[in-house]
Amino acid sequence: MALLAEYSSQELLQAELQLWHQSLGFFKSAALAIALDLRIADAVHRLGGAATLPQILAEAGISPCRLRDMRRVMRVLTVSGIFIVQHPDEAAAAAAAESRHDAAVYKLTAASRLLVRDKSSTATGQLPHFLTVQLLLGPVRDSPVSMGMRKWFRQQGDQQQPGLSPFAMAYGGQTVWERAEHDAAAFRFNDAMAADTAFLMPIVLRECAEVFRGLTSLVDVAGGLGGAAATIAAAFPDLKCTVLDLPQVVAKAPSGTDVHYVAGDMFESIPPANAVFLKWILHDWRDDECVKILKNCKQAISPRDAGGKIIIIDMVVGSGPSDDIKHAETQVLYDLLIMNINGVERDEQEWKKIFFEAGFKDYKIIPVLGVRSVIELYP
């Protein structure tokens, strides 16, 4: 990559952070539009100005099945200062790890107080301030993505279609992958993923090539046309690299390369190898789906004492400098983007949960890729 000769890895990752942060600004407005549409501030106000998320959902009439997703919206709104969140102390969190998020208390700020619609919020005859915010949010609220998200949150149990995402609601029932296949010229999803691989993989090899050293074989799961595998193979000529992807993807794979291609489905089985590589894959899937993928990975790899491991490139929310608000905002805003396709950006505890459910014993997080990390997962 020519840019690596001109800039350091950290300069390039900081540049990526700047562009992502600005591009994802839409989702800061989308989170506010969701809160305004669902009257979250009103619910907190009626509950005395401070409440847990289960209490807020019950008060606002939101389906309990949206608890985790509403927590993600509130995370954006607390990072950006619209609400304040107070987490339980460490002792309480340790005693009830599963419910630690649900015990968090959300409080109104001056900003969220302006969103409250009850008559006591304004002087007699005065129009409420939320109308100004509603007007300013108009271009965002009227976009297909924002309308899909708000409709998705308003659904009740008897209206929900299993697996239907906000993205599908916005685009006539199509998944993101179906739209990428049927409308590739206008929606260049696959090209964008290939461009991301071309940008990131040289940085991965410069900053943490040691994760690949000593391996004899590697399967890049859902590796597309093999950009990542080809980069790894070029850096480690003795490493046999294989790409597993769906038949329609493998049919388009280039010939005459050092990469071997296998048509298959990661939810069914994965070819045996020393290690499995998952770049930017697991965040697309729900926890139960990730556990299924990882169990298949575990069956495919060597034992740990023979070098067997999973190499994951994904986001670990909360990793990075604690005082870098741009970094923190970008991670939680990207989480709202990925929520649109029923994906999840996970914090360390959420990763740990699915790792251990899949039968793995240990892991190591290497936070050297800006808002993303390398995770080594061991059987």
* CATH class of the domain at 11-141: mainly alpha
Out of 60-64, 127-131, 220-224, 356-360, least confident range: 127-131
CA distance 62 to 77: 18
pLDDT band at 156 (very low <50, low <70, confident <90, very high): confident
Whether the predicted pLDDT of 95 surpasses 60: no
pLDDT band at 94 (very low <50, low <70, confident <90, very high): very low
Q: What ranges in the chain are assigned the alpha helix state H?
A: 3-6, 9-23, 25-38, 40-46, 53-60, 67-79, 90-95, 110-113, 130-136, 138-141, 144-154, 166-170, 176-182, 189-208, 227-235, 247-250, 287-300, 325-339, 348-357
Catalytic residue among 21, 129, 283, 327: 283
- At residue 342, the 3 state secondary structure works out as coil
pLDDT, averaged across the chain:
92
User: Tens digits of per-residue pLDDT, 334-374?
Assistant: 999 999 999 999 999 999 999 999 999 999 999 999 999 99
| pLDDT for position 36 | 96
Whether the predicted pLDDT of 27 surpasses 80: yes
CATH number of 189-378: 3.40.50.150
Q: Residues of the chain with pLDDT > 70: what percent?
A: 93
Global confidence as pTM: 0.92
pLDDT band at 91 (very low <50, low <70, confident <90, very high): very low
* Whether residue 283 lies in the annotated active site: yes
CA distance 377 to 333: 26
The token pair at 118 is 């009850």
Residue extents of the structural domains in the chain: 11-141, 189-378
Strand pairing category for 346-347 and 259-263: unpaired
